[in-house]
Amino acid sequence: MKAFIAVLPLVLRYAEAIPRPQSQSERYSSEVTASVTATSASAPPTSTPSTTAQNPCAAISQIYAQANTSITNIRVPAQLAYDCLNDVPLDSASAVPWLNTLKPYIEWQSTIAYLKNPPKGYLEPAVDVWGGLQAIIDRVSNGKYANEYQLEFDIYRLFQSTHDGHFRYLPSLAGGVFAFGRPISLVSYSVDGTEAPKPYVYSDVLSYFVNGSAVPSPVRSIDGQNAVAYLENWAQYGSLQDPDALYNNVFYELGQASLGASGSGAGTFAGGGRGAYIFPGNTTTLGFENGTSATFSNFARLLVPFRNITNGTVLYNTWINPYATRTSGAGGNVAAATNSSTPTSSTTVVSSSTRTATGTPRPGYPSPVISQRNNYVGGWYLTEAGYEDVAVLGVQSFVGTTDFQSVVYDFLDQASRAGKTKLVIDVSANGGGTILQGYNLFKNLFPAILPYGATRFRHHETFDIIGETVSERIYYYPYNYTNPPNPVWQDFAGGTPFNYRADVDVNYENFDSWRDKDPPNTIYGDQFTSIIRWNLSDPTNTPANGVQVNGYGNRTGLPPTQPFKPENIVILYDGYCASTCAIFSEMMTQQGGIKTISIGGRPNQGPMQTVGGVKGTNNYPWTFIYQLVSDTYELAPDQAGYFNSTSLYDYINPATYEIPYLRAVANSGQVNVRDGIRQGDTSQTPLQFVYEAANCRLYYTAEMTVDVTSMWEKVVDVAWGGDKCVQGSVGASGKAGNAKREEMEARSNERMKKRMLEMTLDKAAALEESLGLFTDVSGIEVQHGMMLP
Ligand SMILES: *[C@@H]1O[C@H](CO)[C@@H](O)[C@H](O)[C@H]1NC(C)=O
Ligand SMILES: *[C@@H]1O[C@H](CO)[C@@H](O)[C@H](O)[C@H]1NC(C)=O
Ligand SMILES: *[C@@H]1O[C@H](CO)[C@@H](O)[C@H](O)[C@H]1NC(C)=O
Ligand SMILES: *[C@@H]1O[C@H](CO)[C@@H](O)[C@H](O)[C@H]1NC(C)=O
Ligand SMILES: *[C@@H]1O[C@H](CO)[C@@H](O)[C@H](O)[C@H]1NC(C)=O
Ligand SMILES: *[C@@H]1O[C@H](CO)[C@@H](O)[C@H](O)[C@H]1NC(C)=O
Ligand SMILES: *[C@@H]1O[C@H](CO)[C@@H](O)[C@H](O)[C@H]1NC(C)=O
Ligand SMILES: *[C@@H]1O[C@H](CO)[C@@H](O)[C@H](O)[C@H]1NC(C)=O
Ligand SMILES: *[C@@H]1O[C@H](CO)[C@@H](O)[C@H](O)[C@H]1NC(C)=O
Ligand SMILES: *[C@@H]1O[C@H](CO)[C@@H](O)[C@H](O)[C@H]1NC(C)=O
Ligand SMILES: *[C@@H]1O[C@H](CO)[C@@H](O)[C@H](O)[C@H]1NC(C)=O
């Protein structure tokens, strides 16, 4: 979700007075080559390398020293990695001071009150975040943690269990040393599109399509447990808020694979996305319905060099907390030690996939008519007889790039000129991106509708003081963004929430004062700002967000005609849709009246939600919050004494301010700051907690796991061809569900045969290659505000 930089492009301009926190990865960036796309599928198998070392960390160090390959290709047995993590003694002296430094950032999380006592309609368990943090502090104080890893994993889980992809914190030991994985990817599909889906090993499915091998046998058990129950549990380690969306994320999926290292790899079961942080056991044993079973060795990839790491203590002192001895009492040394005069901004790291000149591979997809180079967005025409009037817009991300907006505009324009009358918008794998990119796509399709897009922040002392100060000191708005009276003003442009002169209210009218924008209102036992909407006419939006929404600024001259009739548009979801994708979805369904189809999910016959990812409408990286506070000091230097007496001091306290960054994986600290609120909802329930089923639910079938066109054709069949959904219906025309079942089955069988005939060795090789994908969070440009996988 776009975020901050969309709003404020200042990451590079850190205030001189206050040294910027340095992340752990910066300290060893010279030693670690950013993990490129992945280890290829043909990478070394996880044989257990022979080591003579007794200590698990020393054994890994020995493997590391003997490996004649780059660190990204080194795999060690999962058990060895897990044992090494557990060899790190608890640093109880550092723990409580560290946990206390998380509190100022948690204050920004907008949904805390709702998480503790979720409204009806929210499908995940309640989480008392403050209580959970206190419980961890108590456990530390009472000596209940046997080692450091147990503590750090608990901290990670506290954030993860909120199932809010914008609320994230990954302590270094929990996710910065090893990435766990399994050498097998699963898919889940229904044999006929109607029967409940079952899990299968993806390489069996590929062999079937490529080599005509035996029909794959479903996975019946995993490590002795019922396979579906096991996978539903495993799914709960994901970041999404819907159980069906979480279930889909366990499996290999073409949409995710098309995002390369920015997606969730080959599924969380294989170690993609959030799966990398969970120890999968030493081995995985699959039992198949045909009565056979197979055991696989699980592995861990190294994320830090293991040179001379002879035990857990050395690991801790080298990579996790080199300043442990200094943080207790003499925090000033921390800043000195990290040499704040030469910071490189971790947020400027560009993902390797973004740099790929030739573009990211997109296995299982046909050649696009037009495509953004990272596969964030692309356009296709269906070519099969009977489908020639259909255009497909694949929007796998809203992360804004210079070519994103023109790809969307040009494709819709070309498609309608080419006589395409129907549009499938496939938002599979879409974790969000630049907020205004979502508004822009909506305005491309509905030029005459003013997007609603209501948002709301949580009111707390720091938020209020920043807003009061900014509103007072930046006394006019908008200003010349490229040449402001004071450079720090640049950080408060592009729709900043902190100036009452920016943004518009619930009625799309200007606010009168800071109190008008932040009264605050008491709702659900917590305090919030007024409803805030983006002022799309704000001229500072474009330079700050990198996108000029269609119909505004210099994009007013574009053809105003609506390229597709609403009844001829359908949106396809795999549940992953989050953040900016959720914003887009809300406008399309609530304001545009567009029908929705969700695919996949757990093996039940019920409805499935559309948006399964976070529906909060803005995340702030913690580094950005730190920046906001230091900017506030810079705007009003005369108030520093007052600020020091308030909660603002907690963010800049020289003794502690670096701790949350030093102890976590770079950029992992994020909060959801804005709730999305539905038009007309007087209760102002955050959309995150509002249940919303798709009009129609489908199951994946086998051919859809190797060729995305077969999924799109099925979507067209149910949307406009009279085919049936597993549950619900999309038929605005009233035709849906009328087609003869035999006819539809025949069509499915045709598709399956066709995919087998069309499966060339090249296509198969590309799919196999993508099984080696892993998520590279360090490469994702967080300033684009995507929900991290
Ligand atoms: C490492 O690999 C390179 C290239 O494959 C080879 O030339 C070299 O001899 C190897 N070194 C060792 C120590 O095995
Ligand atoms: C198909 O068979 C060939 C030859 O045995 C093999 O190399 C290839 O890996 C197989 N492909 C799949 C997807 O099983
Ligand atoms: C049973 O099914 C598994 C999974 O598809 C397959 O690998 C195995 O070869 C099959 N075994 C037999 C005897 O059919
Ligand atoms: C872990 O699995 C490997 C084989 O993958 C085996 O050699 C090793 O003994 C196992 N370790 C433990 C502790 O079970
Ligand atoms: C690792 O240890 C060896 C032997 O103890 C030593 O010679 C070497 O300098 C150490 N390397 C580093 C990078 O500390
Ligand atoms: C870990 O290794 C270091 C360096 O070899 C050593 O000084 C220390 O005693 C070891 N700690 C434990 C708990 O074995
Ligand atoms: C900090 O970095 C500067 C520039 O690279 C260097 O000259 C200086 O010696 C460093 N200071 C410390 C304490 O490492
Ligand atoms: C903003 O300032 C820049 C740099 O001085 C100048 O080129 C530009 O014309 C100004 N824009 C406006 C709208 O005044
Ligand atoms: C939105 O921004 C424009 C440009 O700054 C401004 O003229 C207008 O008053 C603002 N508010 C509304 C409601 O349009
Ligand atoms: C609008 O202005 C921006 C910045 O000057 C420019 O890059 C873009 O091409 C313009 N767009 C149109 C549609 O003219
Ligand atoms: C505010 O706190 C900072 C950090 O401790 C300190 O450097 C500064 O002098 C303080 N300012 C005032 C006016 O007290």
pLDDT digits (tens, 9 = 90+) for 203-220: 999 999 998 889 999 999
pLDDT at 739 over 80: no
SS3 190: strand
SS3 584: helix
pLDDT at 734 over 90: no
CA distance 194 to 481: 56
Looking at ligand 5, which residue's alpha carbon is closest to its atom 1? 308
Predicted local distance difference test score (pLDDT) of residue 36: 25
pLDDT at 335 over 70: no
pLDDT at 29 over 70: no
The full DSSP string for 304-349 is S--TT--SHHHHIIIII-TTHHHHTT-THHHHHHHTTTS---GGG-
Pairing of strands 569-573, 422-426: parallel
CA distance 614 to 625: 20
Looking at ligand 7, which residue's alpha carbon is closest to its atom 9? 339
Question: Is residue 42 in contact with ligand 2, taking CB distance under 6 Å?
Answer: no
Peptide bond into 368 cis (omega under 30): no
Q: How confident is the model at residue 785 (pLDDT cuts 50, 70, 90)?
A: low
Could you tell me the pTM of the whole model? 0.90
pLDDT at 19 over 70: no
Which residues, in sequence order, are CB contacts of 485 under 8 Å at separation 6+? Answer: 479
Predicted local distance difference test score (pLDDT) of residue 68: 87
Predicted local distance difference test score (pLDDT) of residue 50: 66
The bound ligand whose nearest atom lies closest to the alpha carbon of 765 is: 2
Predicted local distance difference test score (pLDDT) of residue 8: 25
pLDDT in tens, 462-472: 999 999 999 99
Q: What is the mean pLDDT of residues 353-370?
A: 77
Specify the DSSP element, H or E, that contains 392.
Answer: strand 390-395
Q: For residue 221, which amino acid is it?
A: S
Predicted local distance difference test score (pLDDT) of residue 678: 98
Ligand 3 pocket, residues with Cβ under 6 angstroms:
201, 204, 216-217, 288, 290, 292
**Test site for ligand 6: of 311, 316, 320, most ligand atoms within 8 A of the Cβ:** 311
- Under DSSP, the state recorded for 589 is I
Q: How confident is the model at residue 748 (pLDDT cuts 50, 70, 90)?
A: confident
Cα–Cα separations (whole angstroms), residue 158 to 73, 127, 131, 202 = 31, 8, 10, 32
SS3 content of the chain, % helix, strand, coil (to 5): 40, 15, 50
CA distance 56 to 297: 17
Q: What is the mean pLDDT of residues 26-30?
A: 30
pLDDT in tens, 110-124: 999 999 999 999 999
Q: What is the mean pLDDT of residues 743-755?
A: 84
Rounded distance from Cα 757 to ligand 2 centre (Å): 16
Predicted local distance difference test score (pLDDT) of residue 482: 93
Predicted local distance difference test score (pLDDT) of residue 560: 64
Cα–Cα separations (whole angstroms), residue 687 to 582, 674, 703 = 9, 11, 34
Number of helices (H), then strands (E), in the chain: 30, 22
Question: Is residue 58 in contact with ligand 6, taking CB distance under 6 Å?
Answer: no
Q: What is the mean pLDDT of residues 270-281?
A: 98
CA distance 607 to 729: 10
Ligand 7 atom nearest the C-alpha of 342 is 2
Which residues, in sequence order, are CB contacts of 424 under 8 Å at separation 6+? Answer: 390, 391, 392, 393, 569, 570, 571, 572, 712, 715, 716, 719
Question: Is residue 211 in contact with ligand 2, taking CB distance under 6 Å?
Answer: yes
pLDDT in tens, 589-611: 999 999 999 999 999 999 999 99
Q: What is the mean pLDDT of the chain?
A: 88
Looking at ligand 7, which residue's alpha carbon is closest to its atom 11? 339
Question: Is residue 314 in contact with ligand 6, taking CB distance under 6 Å?
Answer: yes
Ligand 6 atom nearest the C-alpha of 89 is 13
Predicted local distance difference test score (pLDDT) of residue 324: 62
CA distance 752 to 756: 6
Predicted local distance difference test score (pLDDT) of residue 319: 95
Ligand 2 atom nearest the C-alpha of 211 is 1
Ligand 2 atom nearest the C-alpha of 213 is 14
- Beta-strand ranges (E) seen in 662-745 are 670-677, 696-698, 727-728
Predicted local distance difference test score (pLDDT) of residue 784: 58
CA distance 651 to 628: 10
Ligand 2 atom nearest the C-alpha of 768 is 13
pLDDT at 42 over 60: no
